[in-house]
């Protein structure tokens, strides 16, 4: 009897139609304002890039045309910057060498310095961190005369190594600061557990600390890479030959005393911007994690 009653109840439940889902209400005014404000800010930031792209595609005869979108698109501006007597390809190679070289040098120096500062409470630690912070306050523009004199004495004018050393030096302080804060947030007990299992101090640092600190490392490296990629004043001072200059200086060569080659100027700028945008898009999440490290306890 019980079995019959149970089966009949289950059959009646199966016949009951599913209750209709309540209709989704309209978004609130607050949400509409927030989303609209976000799109407006995004539009404001993306507008210069759109204008740069449209100007790169504008023919020379339409430079004085007041229309926003050109009537004809001149795609040859993106290819002609690499042809003829132009050394744009060489300039791009030099920029890659400088950016990757400065990034590698910063990583090589900042990792042990930040790790030792975070793990050891040595005498003069606060003074060292303060000195690192003070060096971040100086800009290459204020020291460009001294930098040029030093590199001239070392016979390093028109040298890629000169640009690598200077760019790494001016970005080292930021890397040490952010990595030191990130290493301090990693429990030292994790390294001690690894050393109890037989790992050396360097092995624990390589296998435990570095993987956990990867967001902070990526943040420091991407900012160093972008700063070295975009650096202009020191590169303009230390390079006197067009085929020894990075992209930031090569782009400036399209601006003459009486005329400006807007088509090639903006085409080369678009080409120089694409690698940074792609690189930042690939590791954007790790950069955000590195910047917000330590904000939540």
Same domain, 168 and 200: yes
> DSSP state, 285?
H
pLDDT value of residue 244: 86
User: Is 106 among the domain residues?
Assistant: yes
Same domain, 113 and 150: yes
User: Is 3 among the domain residues?
Assistant: no
pLDDT value of residue 287: 60
Same domain, 140 and 187: yes
Least confident of 16-25, 33-42, 163-172, 176-185: 16-25
Residue scoring higher pLDDT (20 or 283): 283
Terminus-to-terminus CA distance in the chain, angstroms? 60
**119's tokens:** 């793990």
Tens-place pLDDT, residues 255-265: 877 778 888 88
pLDDT band at 1 (very low <50, low <70, confident <90, very high): very low
Same domain, 193 and 61: no
Same domain, 35 and 166: no
pLDDT band at 2 (very low <50, low <70, confident <90, very high): very low
pLDDT band at 134 (very low <50, low <70, confident <90, very high): confident
Same domain, 192 and 56: no
User: Is 4 among the domain residues?
Assistant: no
How many contiguous H segments (helices) and E segments (strands) does the chain have?
Answer: 15, 0
CA nearest 217: which of 52, 67, 106, 98?
106
CATH number at residue 184: 1.10.3720.10
User: Is 13 among the domain residues?
Assistant: no
Q: Which of 74, 96, 125 is the last residue of a domain?
A: 74
pLDDT value of residue 6: 47
pLDDT band at 296 (very low <50, low <70, confident <90, very high): very low
Check whether 122 has a pLDDT greater than 80.
Answer: no
pLDDT value of residue 295: 46
User: Is 277 among the domain residues?
Assistant: yes
Same domain, 248 and 160: yes
- Torsion sign over Cα 110, 276, 97, 235: negative
Same domain, 57 and 203: no
Tens-place pLDDT, residues 59-68: 877 767 767 7
Give the count of domains, the chain.
2
User: Is 255 among the domain residues?
Assistant: yes
Angle between helix 88-119 and 160-184 (nearest 10): 30
pLDDT band at 100 (very low <50, low <70, confident <90, very high): very high
Same domain, 120 and 38: no
User: Is 273 among the domain residues?
Assistant: yes
Check whether 14 has a pLDDT greater than 60.
Answer: no
Same domain, 111 and 246: yes
Same domain, 57 and 137: no
Same domain, 155 and 62: no
Check whether 297 has a pLDDT greater than 50.
Answer: no
Q: Which of 19, 42, 74 is the last residue of a domain?
A: 74
pLDDT band at 128 (very low <50, low <70, confident <90, very high): confident
Q: Which of 23, 44, 74 is the last residue of a domain?
A: 74
Contacts 24+ apart (CB under 8 A), 260-267: 262/55, 262/58, 262/63, 263/55, 263/56, 263/58, 263/59, 263/60, 263/74, 263/77, 264/77, 264/80, 264/81, 266/52, 266/53, 266/55, 266/56, 266/77, 267/56, 267/77, 267/78, 267/81
pLDDT value of residue 62: 74
pLDDT value of residue 98: 93
User: Is 17 among the domain residues?
Assistant: no
Tens-place pLDDT, residues 155-187: 989 889 999 999 998 888 888 888 888 888 888
For the chain, percent of residues with pLDDT exceeding 90? 11
- Mean pLDDT highest for which of 10-14, 68-72, 191-195? 191-195
pTM of the model: 0.76
Owning domain of residue 137: 87-291
Q: Do 204 and 195 contact (CB within 8 A), yes or no?
A: yes
CA nearest 164: which of 270, 239, 274?
239
CA nearest 119: which of 192, 222, 200?
192
């Amino acid at each position: 009897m019980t079995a019959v009653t149970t089966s009949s109840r289950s059959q009646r439940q199966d016949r009951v139609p599913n209750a209709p889902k309540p209709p989704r209400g309209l978004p609130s005014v607050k949400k509409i304002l927030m989303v609209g404000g976000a799109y407006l800010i995004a539009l404001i930031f993306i507008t210069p890039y759109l204008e740069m792209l449209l100007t790169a595609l504008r023919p020379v005869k339409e430079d004085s045309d007041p229309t926003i979108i050109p009537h004809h698109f001149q795609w040859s501006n993106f290819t002609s910057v690499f042809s003829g007597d132009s050394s744009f390809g060489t300039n791009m190679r030099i920029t890659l060498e400088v950016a990757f070289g400065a990034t590698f040098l910063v990583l090589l120096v900042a990792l042990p310095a930040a790790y030792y500062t975070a793990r050891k409470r040595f005498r003069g630690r606060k003074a060292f961190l303060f000195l690192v912070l003070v060096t971040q306050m100086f800009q290459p523009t204020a020291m460009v005369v001294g930098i040029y004199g030093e590199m001239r004495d070392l016979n390093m004018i028109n040298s890629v190594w000169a640009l690598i050393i200077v760019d790494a030096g001016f970005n080292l302080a930021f890397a040490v600061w952010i990595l030191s804060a990130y290493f301090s947030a990693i429990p030292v007990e994790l390294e001690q557990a690894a050393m109890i299992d037989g790992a050396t101090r360097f092995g624990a640092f390589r296998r435990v600390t570095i993987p956990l600190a990867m967001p902070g490392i990526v943040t420091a490296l991407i900012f160093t890479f972008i700063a070295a990629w975009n650096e202009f004043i020191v590169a303009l001072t230390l390079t006197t030959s067009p085929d020894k200059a990075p992209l930031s200086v090569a782009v400036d060569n399209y601006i003459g005393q009486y005329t400006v080659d807007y088509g090639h100027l903006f085409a080369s700028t678009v080409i120089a911007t694409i690698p940074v945008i792609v690189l930042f898009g690939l590791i954007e999440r790790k950069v955000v994690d590195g910047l917000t490290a330590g904000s939540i306890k």
